[in-house]
């Protein structure tokens, strides 16, 4: 039976494959506060939202060729970029709004010798990249943060819709023609499709599920080719 409300990022047992090393905030609104993340990342070395890589590795391998240029949004302290790197996907750029997360990720990757992976401080609502410069954009739980104060899931607050559209417009812009956006999410298709299907986007939408007991959604949005030449990325 389908749920009738948007799940919230409140229950650690539903958020990841193990309990976080820091206490969840008293209100879900904290997930939209950069100070919360800076404080959390200063104490926490690693946490995986929505299961770890092993649960959806087969989906990554099916959609991301090793030669792809990949942008990860909201890397936090996840090991997603490292796991992709070990699978041969080495042209990866990670971004996060938290300066603490970026600094710690840079040090962690350098210590492991993963020097090809770039880590930048950036806002997913205002991506600092040229048009059409990535083959893949991926996020895991990052977009879900925008929904923590969305109100009625069937009719989200205008502020939520505006933020989600700003994120999706940026993703669509930086994707190369025939590039894909992968969104790993709590959000069910009947809530996400109205946003993904906005008329200014040229992508097709499909999804798979993974997880045991509670299912997570693995969305694949492929940007349609229009015959326009791609630009190089400027980092």
The mean per-residue pLDDT over the stretch 103-117 comes to 96
- For 20-24, 82-86, 103-107, which range has the lowest pLDDT when averaged over its residues? 20-24
Position 233 scores a pLDDT of 58
The mean per-residue pLDDT over the stretch 200-224 comes to 93
CA atoms within 13 A on the CB side of 68: 28
Please state, in angstroms and as integers, the Cα–Cα distance from residue 197 to each residue in 5, 32, 51, 59, following that order. 20, 25, 27, 22
* Model pTM score: 0.85
Residues 181, 167: contact at Cβ < 8 Å? no
The mean per-residue pLDDT over the stretch 23-41 comes to 78
Query: Confidence band (pLDDT; 50, 70, 90) for 134?
Result: very high
The mean per-residue pLDDT over the stretch 30-52 comes to 85
Residue 195 CB-density burial (10 A; 0-12 exposed, 13-18 middle, 19+ buried): middle
Mean of per-residue pLDDT scores for the chain: 87
Residues in the chain: 235
* pLDDT exceeds cutoff 80 at 124: yes
The mean per-residue pLDDT over the stretch 158-167 comes to 95
Residues 117, 92: contact at Cβ < 8 Å? yes
């Amino acid at each position: 039976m389908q749920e009738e409300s948007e799940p919230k990022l409140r229950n650690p047992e539903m958020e990841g494959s193990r309990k976080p090393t820091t206490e969840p905030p008293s209100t879900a609104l904290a997930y939209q506060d950069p100070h919360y993340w800076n404080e959390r990342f200063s104490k926490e070395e690693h946490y995986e939202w929505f299961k770890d890589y092993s649960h959806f590795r087969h989906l990554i391998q099916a959609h991301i060729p090793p030669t792809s240029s990949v942008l990860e949004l909201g890397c936090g302290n996840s090991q997603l970029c490292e796991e992709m790197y070990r699978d041969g996907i080495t042209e990866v750029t990670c971004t996060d709004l938290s300066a603490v997360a970026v600094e710690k990720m840079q040090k962690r990757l350098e210590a492991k010798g993963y020097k090809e992976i770039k880590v930048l401080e950036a806002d997913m609502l205002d991506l600092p990249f040229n048009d059409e410069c990535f083959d893949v954009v991926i996020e895991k739980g990052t977009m879900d943060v925008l929904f923590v104060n969305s109100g009625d899931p069937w009719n989200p607050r205008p502020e939520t819709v505006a933020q989600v559209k700003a994120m999706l417009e940026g993703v669509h812009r930086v994707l190369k023609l025939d590039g894909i956006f992968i969104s790993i999410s709590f959000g069910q298709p009947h809530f996400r499709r109205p946003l993904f299907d906005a008329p200014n986007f040229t992508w097709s939408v499909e999804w798979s599920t993974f997880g045991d007991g509670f299912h997570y959604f693995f969305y694949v949005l492929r940007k349609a080719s229009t015959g326009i030449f791609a630009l190089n990325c400027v980092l």
